[in-house]
Chain A
Amino acid sequence: MKILVCISHVPDTTSKINFTDNNTQFDTNGVQYVINPNDEFGLTRAMWFKEKQGASVEVVTVGGSEVEPTLRKALAIGADSATRVDAPALDGYAVAQELAAVVKNGGYDLVIAGRESIDYNGGMVPGMVAAMTGASFVNTCISLEIDGSTATATREIDGGKETVSATLPLIIGGQKGLVEESDLRIPNMRGIMMARKKPLNVVPSVATATETKTVSFEKPAPKGDVKLVAADNLDQLIDLLHNEAKAI
């Protein structure tokens, strides 16, 4: 089984979000980058397929050379090889075009992506790649088993979950549940040393167009002070929620 894991290089979840150039660019100053958490759950599940079912695991991302440390981390976790598409990640559509070309060339049985990146939250790349390549698609995937040419997946739905069967090739938009938080792996020294020798291929951009463009960013308006209510005066809380906030 050939698996491709699509990785997004994103600011760590604790990052302070600021903008520069008249609020048109994300301020990368002092920001630590990580593997997008939704992708890391998928990468860890891919390691399970490698160890239990002999799968090969490649990772891919779209970006400039600054994203390579994130790919090396994926290699240190255990991926066999990495590909960087040398192009700026301009919008979801452009990234999907780049990834669709890699997917078509590679003949993968399974493509694992995260349900969304935690920076731009587009949530569209996995589905677009599926539509562009004709693969089956399961989003918000929280468990996945592969048996021969069929997959059984569970997906999170509003208020519950749903079990589906799908033919391969399959693309998933994964999230927590594919593996548990405690299953995530911190690369060890041996993994880091081996990652240096693993292939990291750089391929040229093939995307021809974008469909969307961010014109500017803004931050939420600062919040007013909290109104504190004494623990022995909950009638006041109910009164505030009913008459002031109109929430009950």
Chain B
Amino acid sequence: MSVLVYTESEGGSFKKAAYEVASYGKGIADQLGTSVTAISFNANGAGDLGTYGVSKQLNITDSKLEKFNAAAYADAIAQAAKAEGATTVIISSSANSKYLGALLSVHLEAGYATNVMELPASTSPFTVKRSVFTNKAFAMTEISTANKLVGLANNSYGLKENTTDCSTEAFTPTLSDDDFKVQVQSVDKATDKVSIADADVVVSAGRGLKGPENWGMVEELAEVLGAATACSKPVSDMGWRPHGEHVGQTGKPVATNLYIAIGISGAIQHLAGVSSSKVKVVINTDPEAPFFKAADYGVVGDAFEVVPALIEKLKAFKAANA
């Protein structure tokens, strides 16, 4: 009755989210007095799973599962959970995990709590803290079914080393044609840029930048910091930036270590979407901008002067600390 964690990989290598769910799975396994098993798809070895507390890896090797397929992956993870006798299953909050989570929940007849922030406050009853109302509040939610599915919020638990001997076994699920009713035709993904979900730092800009032609300095700042770029809702509505960059209540949530907001006044919907970020820096000409009340650090000044100066100083800092 181990804890099963779904460890996501890309191109055979585990993602950071995989190690975070492994770390969290180990935390729950310690509470329950059991061990952690990871399920992976076409992974190239065990990576650092053992470092983060996984004692057994079940790896599925199947060319039909090279591209993510929510129905087939959910079916396979459910079969792995049953084979392992796992009653607690942990997934991340990546787009793919959120896609398959509900399907997996029905397969396992498992109550599903999403956006979970911490280890269970109690395992009997099984009670977890989850973020609700787009981070404007938290709910203590009890999962009452025998099987439990936990969707861990991104960057909430962090990586915790807990070195364990990790064995690897091949796992072969039985998949049906019904699992392949949705087929990926093409993937359009910038491989040279870090995504908002995976980034440790996000640099975001708003209407204060006056036009899409002024985003060069935002991208340069992001590059210096190894950050993803994001934007406010009006900016995506006006078509200055793609929708995929819109962060906030109706856009993407951001739960990064460092969030830098440039020329964003801080509408309540935007603040809600980014409030899980650990450190927030605001650069704005208007000292009355609401974002200053929600930020850790602020610079009152013209973005067109502050951002280029900050880029130069960060380059010098990075060079000195390399």
Contacts and interface: CB of A to CB of B under 8 A. Distances in A.
Interface of A: 11, 13-14, 17, 19, 37-38, 91-93, 96, 118-128, 130-132, 134, 136-140, 142, 152, 155-167, 175-177, 180-182, 210-220, 223-224, 226-231, 234-235, 237-238, 240-242, 245, 247-248
Nearest to B313: A234
Interface in B223-268: 225, 228, 233, 237, 243-244, 246, 249-251, 257-258, 268
B278 interface: yes
B301 A93 contact: no
Contact of A118 (B197, B250, B294): B250
Interface in B91-144: 94-96, 98-103, 105-107, 110-115, 127, 130-144
Given A125-B102, A157-B187, 17 more contacts: A92-B102, A119-B132, A131-B107, A137-B103, A140-B99, A162-B188, A164-B182, A211-B110, A216-B139, A228-B300, A231-B301, A231-B302, A237-B299, A238-B314, A245-B279, A245-B297, A248-B201
Contacts, number: 267
A235 B313 contact: yes
Contacts of B228: 159
A176 B246 contact: yes
> Nearest 5 pairs between A and B by C-beta?
A127-B102, A159-B195, A231-B301, A160-B189, A211-B111
Nearest to B126: A212
6 contacts: A118-B249, A139-B98, A158-B197, A161-B244, A181-B233, A241-B281
Contacts of B187: 157, 160-163
Interface string B165-191: 000000000000010011111111110
A159 B135 CA distance: 22
Interface string B264-282: 0000110000010011011
Given A229-B298, A240-B297, A247-B278, A161 B101 contact: no
Contacts of B268: 13-14
A237 B307 CA distance: 12
Contacts of B138: 217-220
Nearest to B228: A159
Interface of B: 68, 70-71, 74, 94-96, 98-103, 105-107, 110-115, 127, 130-145, 178, 181-190, 193-198, 201, 225, 228, 233, 237, 243-244, 246, 249-251, 257-258, 268-269, 275, 278-279, 281-282, 292-302, 305-306, 309-310, 313-314, 317, 321
Contacts of B190: 159-160
Given A14-B268, A164-B184, A213 B306 contact: no
B270 to A, nearest CB: 10
Contact of B144 (A211, A218, A237): A211
Nearest to A115: B98
Given A212-B141, A220-B138, A229-B297, A157 B96 contact: yes
